Chains A and B, each alone.
Chain A
């Protein structure tokens, strides 16, 4: 199957700082990438959808100025959590699909963010 790499796998930062998470498709061109947030023992909540070369579409209730998403190339999307606060601590997961895909998504390994 297609491989999606996510980095970093975990990060600890101080309140008020910004953190960038990268999501890369290693062996296919990801025309669409999705960013999810997951709290412990809960389901995935879609935050935003990004298409290469265009602005991300955010889900209702997700602050676009706080969670900056960039999808500048067909293999890389980034999520930047700006001015992070302890309530932003969570597990962030990206997924990707490409041309010719039949509906399944390929997920990164996730990034655990802890804001002190």
Chain B
């Protein structure tokens, strides 16, 4: 079953703009991760935020986590056409044995 719901399902922006994607989940977690998937390819790990962290940065990525609301957001700043991909949040549930449960994903399109 899907742990996470992401919104928007699809997002289209112009190059240089910021892109924000949101993820909500249902159970308590050890950590939450964001992955990127280019069409027809495997997933690439972007960033991991632990349950006791509230914000994390990595290059042009900024992730926030609000465990009280069971939600997270991924911000990509100064987007580029190469950022076009699907983005998934994944949660490592408490007591879940390190299994990740993936959200529904956001399809991001960055246009020139």
| Chain A interface residues (CB < 8 Å from chain B) | 1, 4, 6, 32, 34, 36, 41-46, 49, 91, 93, 95, 97, 102-110, 112
Contact = CB atoms under 8 A, between A and B. Distances in A.
Q: Which applies to chain A's interface (DSSP): helix, strand, loop or mixed?
A: strand
Given A43-B102, A46-B99, A49-B99, A1 B45 contact: yes
Instruction: Give the secondary structure class of B's interface.
Output: strand
Interface size class of B (residues with CB under 8 A): 20 to 34
A29 to B, nearest CB: 16
A48 B88 CA distance: 19
Contacts of A46: 99-102
A97 B98 contact: yes
Interface string B82-103: 0000001000100001111111
